[in-house]
Amino acid sequence: MKLPTILFGLLLALCVVLALTFVIDEVPFVDVPTDTGGVQRVTTGHGTAHGQFSSMDHGGAGAERHQPILWLGWVFGLLQITFVVACLALGVRRRDRIRVPLVVCGLLLASIFTMIVVTYQGYVTDAAPALFGGLPAPTAWFFYGFWPAQGLVVVLFVVVFSRLVVTGQDMERFREILAARRAGDR
């Protein structure tokens, strides 16, 4: 299957995830009676005002609010990571030769993201969560894992640039195209 078709498929899958957020009820919520006699549902699953400090938000009970959508969030994250890595491949002409290292980078990022989700489940149910490097486990995976791991994609670009992104032959060909264009202009 061609890469643009795969990208289109991933986008459609993300559209399905977005559509699911409209049908899976956000929790917790309260039904507030309105002036017209109806009921308005107010959800607090994506944060609520802090009880003590009005300039801050409060997350509430993580286990409760994420329980119905944790799996969807995991799929949402994986789809986005896959889409981004596939987009990076779109930018490299010699795709067949960069495919393996990019897939490895993508798998690494996806694995770390999965660890964030897995350790988060333990974190929200733990009354006294342990700290790793001064941070709760899921946050430690995010900061000490996900952040530096992206550096591999940067290193890959630097390392393979002159072999796979723009080779000496490419530059020679580019100069020919440029010369032909300028000759045509004259």
Partner 1 sequence: MDDSRSLVILGFVAAYLALCVGIGIWALRRTTSTRDFFMAGRDLGILVTGLAVFSSTMSGFGFVGGPGLVYRMGLSSAWMTIISPLTYCCVFYLLGTRLRMVAELRDSISLPDAVAARYGSERARLLTAIAILLGVVGYLGTQILAMATVLRDILNNVSFIPEVSILTCMVIACAVLVFYCVTGGILASVYTDLVQGAIMIVAAVFVFFAALNAVDGGLTGIVTTLVADDPESISPWGTLGMMGSLSWFLVFVLGGAGQPHVITKLMMTRRVEDARRILPVSVGGYALCSLLWISIGLAMRALVIQGGHPELANPDEAAPQFLQFHAGPVLAGVVFAGLFAAIMSTADSFLNLGAAAVVHDIPRALYGRSLTNELFWARVATVVLAVGSAVFVLYSRQDLVALLGAFGWGTFAAALVPTVAIGFNWKRATATAANAAIVTSLVVNFGIEGFGLAVPYGINGGFVALLLSTTLFFGISLSSPPPTIDPDIEAVMGL
Q: Which of residues 86-145 bind partner 1 (CB under 8 A)?
A: 87-88, 90-93, 116, 120, 123-124, 129, 131, 134-136, 138-139, 141-143
Tokens 């580019």 map to which residue?
Answer: 174
Please give the size of the binding site for partner 1, defined by CB under 8 A. Answer: 77
Cis previous bond, 129, omega within 30: no
Rg (CA), the chain: 24
Tell whether residue 69 is a contact of partner 1 (CB under 8 A): yes
**Nearest C-alpha neighbor of 97 from the set 47, 164, 162:** 164
Tell which one of 30, 39, 151, 163 touches partner 1 (CB under 8 A).
Answer: 151
166-185 residues in contact with partner 1 (CB under 8 A) are 166, 170-171, 173-174, 177-178, 180-181
Nearest distance, CB of residue 135 and partner 1, angstroms: 6
135-136 vs 131-132, strand pairing mode: antiparallel
User: Could you report how far apart the first and last alpha carbons of the chain are, in Å?
Assistant: 43
Nearest distance, CB of residue 37 and partner 1, angstroms: 23
Burial group, residue 130, by CB count within 10 angstroms (0-12, 13-18, 19+): exposed
46-65 residues in contact with partner 1 (CB under 8 A) are 46-47, 50, 53-60, 62, 65
Nearest distance, CB of residue 63 and partner 1, angstroms: 10
